[in-house]
A and B are shown apart, each in its own frame.
Chain A
Amino acid sequence: MSRVEVDKEVTGSAKTPAPVTPVAPLWRRLAPWALLAAGLLFGIGLQPQLYPAQERLVSTVLMFVALASAWNLLGGFAGYASFGHVGFFGLGGYTTALLMYHLNMSFWLAMPASVVVAWLFAALIGVPLLRLKGHYFAIATLGVAEALREIVINLPKLTGGGGGITIPTFGAAAPTPWLGNDGFYLLFLFIAVAVVAVAIFVSSSRSGYALRAIHQDEDAAAATGVNTTLAKTLAFAGSAALTGAVGSAHAFQLQTIYPDRSFDVGITVLMIVMVVLGGAGTVIGPIVGAITIAFLSEWLRTNYTDIHTFLLGGMIIVAVVVLPQGIASYLRDAIKARRFSPLENVRRYRL
């Protein structure tokens, strides 16, 4: 912009210059969508090649791709670290379970209903919570998730309390029969593709720029005309709704859900670890992070059953020190600057 103005002054021309909007070349705008379509086709093509156990593993990985990408919408783009996203995961799961158990509703209606419930709930609590920043926002969302769990535990007549609730999935009583390994693989594949599609759309749209502006300087963003409250609340609600969809599908897959597992803080932390290690605020980062961590965690679980959490903790520590900006951002910067030394990386945040 400034370049154009300078030119105008020098030439003294009265002609108004055409407004300059930076537009990426067509192939760069279409590349993510093409990759996503390729990923979808690859996922569908991969399915017949897998054993049932592998199929379940890949379903879990796809679930985490969706969760990490959903968390990234607010946490990565706008920099608001929600530590309570498992609350929306559990809320979606319990909404589905309750609708199917008590009202005999079909899963295909219960899932959209769960999405709407998660969206509404997040929009409602987002208004007061998003006034907080940094650690305060993190702990407040954590509090909401913990409070939700306590409420579910303490309504045993409705939710089965701590003993859990079982969705009827077999026989004549089942509103929707269980989908089987193949069905859930496809369901999680479609959810993951949908969430990534939302992320691609957001990252290149006006709303994505608004969120990035909020991340960099919220006051400055507001001063340039970004409706920060609206942008944050919509991102929070959208992220929660997608997380709720995943929770809904996960509950149906498990059939029996318990409050302690559906509202496990560890799930939130996994989402955050995946996003940060992959590269927060990018589209590809959470996908890379989710695939890496989910496979790694599963591999450790099978090969070092006794100490796998210990090893996972150690790896998180090493990864945070060596790759604090995430795999995707590290590669992008390293290729751009042609500097691949990880030592420089360690120096970045050192005291």
Chain B
Amino acid sequence: MFTGINHLALVGDLMQQMCVYLVVAYLLSKTPLFAPLMQVTVRLPDKLVCYFVFSGFCIMGTYLGFQIEGAIANTRAIGAVLGGLLGGPLVGLAVGLTGGLHRYSLGGFSASACAVSTITEGIIGGYVHFYLLRRHQAARLLSPMIAFGTTLVAELAQMSIILLMAKPSDQAARLVAQITLPMVLTNSFGAAMFMRLILDRRETREKYSIAFSAKALRIAERSVGVLMQGFNEQNCTRMATIIQEETGVGAVAITDCEKLLGFVGVGADHHLPGTPIASPHTFYAITHNEVVYADGAAVPYCCSVSKDCKLGSCLVIPLRGEENRVFGTIKLYEPTSKFFSSLNRTLGEGIARLLSNQVLAGKIEEQKRLLAQSEIKLLQAQINPHFLFNALNTLAAVIRRDPEAARHLVHYLSTFFRKSLKRVGNDATLKDEIEHVDAYLCIELARFADRLNVEITIADELLGLRLPAFSLQPIVENAIKYGISQMLEPGKITISAQLENKLLTVFVEDSAGLYQPRPDSDGLGMSLVDRRIKLRYGAAFGVDVTCQPECFTRVSICLPVEEELVPC
């Protein structure tokens, strides 16, 4: 009976001890020292941290224990077992050794038995680690039940070792009878609690990062391309709406370097898009290219527009463009009544980067478009003077011989120029392109007289298809310039087209077969056509040349067809 009460009292005492032990563990779990313990790693630095932390707990367990019959009832086993469980056999052995030697140094009749048993406990933990890893069940290492079971077994092993090793044996038997139940219970329970602590810590962290990534991803997904269409009031307001909805902050504003472009949320009644920037924080962020956080306490925040504004804190993040230059800011606000969450603070900087990249991408797109436009201009300007003067020269001769034919030539020439100069749009139908080419070829036919033959065979239903304006004429002009006009005997130009699998291919073939790649200047027309098509439809399309020397050169212009066939 007496021993029973004694047991219960000992369980209570040990439990109290363990509470202190766990509080220390809890406090430690707030430090970065704990991070490596939250996952099973093989990295040496992590293993070292594991060793030091659990050796510390081992020693602490010994000191927190109390004397019973010249021995120490303690919670040392938790450190050794968990060290082995989380760090593996080697760490387990090392922790066991450290804790065991420390216990040995304190003396008592069970000193050597306790030392050996602590080492054994570390090895048992390590073995379980090894076993679970082998069976690819690393996740179960962090299970409190496993920790409980392992510690239970380890403690029972310790009791056996004390019985076997400690002398005198009767004293050992008495001791074991007294401490077995309290120590086995407390240690197993403590190990499980400790593990639970680690798990909780890990889950909180994961929850935080899951919430963070989910938010970030949703914002990224919803905002795709919004600012690419231009950094203006309309798009900024759309963007601000998305950000405000997703982050749940009080209000979101986007500014350029001078004025407010978009404002959504609390205070939208007086923060009006289009008004100049008034906030000193924003000016500071722009001029210093720095993130400014006015929490309303340490850094005062006060709305610079209205005294009645409910907003109480503000985060201003500069938007950076090329060469890290600030081109605007994004501002997140919370009302006075609400706390600015650190999640949103971190997220804010990510959003700013997202926005910056979008604007930058938009600018690049814009530049590409401008380039394509200026290239059309270039193609137009390419109406080469050589062609013009030769045409006029031909005309001079034809006027003398056949005024009627000359009148036709003048007509073709004016058609050609009108079509060359008029087109400002990006697109043209195949019919337009053929007419343009036709006017061009009629003049060349007169110029080269019997040296040139032309055959154009294009099915009527293809004439309505659209392609970038000015795609065909430069190719035909090349065929004349580098093909037919270089032939000593009469030559032929054949123009045809086909539509297959929504792919339009226009062929321009000359019978000269004199094509040579001209990387520098003269092939300009052709390479511009190629670049424009690639820019617009992708690298799989464009201009391709096949040449059979002295036989033919065939240029194909290939591009996807977007719309349905419309009879023309």
A in complex with B: no
CB within 8 Å of A: which residues of B? none
